[in-house]
Amino acid sequence: MDTRLLQLGCHLRYSSQLPTAAVFQFVPKRDPRIVFDEESLDVSEGVDLHEYHDLHGNLCHRLVLQTGVTEVVYTVRAAVPDAEDPRDPDARELAPGDLPDEALVFTMPSRFVTSDVLSGQAWKLFGQHEPGMARVEAISGWTKNYLTYVTGASHSRWTALDSFTSGIGVCRDFAHLMITMCRALNIPARYCAGYLPDMDVPPIPTPMDFHAWVEVYLEGGWWTFDPRHDRRRKGRVKVGHGRDALDVAFATTYGGPWLQYFTVTAEEIVG
């Protein structure tokens, strides 16, 4: 399969009045389809990093932000397949009793996924659809059309119910609402975050950021859906997955440091 080369990474600068513990997730999950090289992770002098894998297998980095300014810079090159997200139109839904053990947690409500509250709405909207890939595609398309993308529309406590009620959100809210509808129908769905360059699509004029999408468990494994765009894309590089955005936050701080500077790089290297 042909590949294309991406430059990925992020640059964070925090200012803190006191030493502040933090956990970061920005290093991509290793994927046999992707070759990574020229990887580097630099932090301010005197700051120690500790790696660990969380309950979902995501690579996390722990550190203590020092008093004053702490900078974190991560870069990597990734050779990715020149292909869109895979799809099998005949993939079937599996009954709850036939699901693998590890998929069961992704059928249950979580902090931002209010599938118990919106269960009636989900069955009303999608209960009559033919089960399988077509029904999940219908949920993705509905989410894309139902929500209006508004920068800064939601806050850290914003749930799928808030998005459903207001009709607005950002990419994480599109993902939460789609996941909610799937879980209400007993379809395992998990939240994903990572890098998504503008490959073979018109560039989005807003600054690059980490992107959120959805993986749904159907026959054949986990399948990628992106309700924000509702189209298959090239160059998607996952950092992590979990029950919702709480599990895959790019930064978790145990205090209130000031994020002075934040950029994300996800672009194709041409030439």
Residue-level pLDDT at 216: 98
| Whether the predicted pLDDT of 143 surpasses 90 | yes
Half-sphere exposure (Cβ direction) of 238: Cα atoms closer than 13 Å:
24
The mean pLDDT of 186-212, rounded to a whole number, is 94
Residue-level pLDDT at 74: 98
The mean pLDDT of 107-135, rounded to a whole number, is 98
Residue-level pLDDT at 174: 98
Q: How far apart are CA 187 and CA 220, in angstroms?
A: 14
The mean pLDDT of 228-255, rounded to a whole number, is 97
Residue-level pLDDT at 182: 98
The mean pLDDT of 213-219, rounded to a whole number, is 98
| Whether the predicted pLDDT of 1 surpasses 80 | no
The mean pLDDT of 46-61, rounded to a whole number, is 96
Residue-level pLDDT at 30: 94
| Whether the predicted pLDDT of 205 surpasses 90 | no
**From residue 23, how far is each of 53, 83, 255 by CA, in Å?**
11, 33, 12
Report pLDDT digits (tens) over 8-45: 999 999 999 999 999 999 999 999 999 999 999 999 99
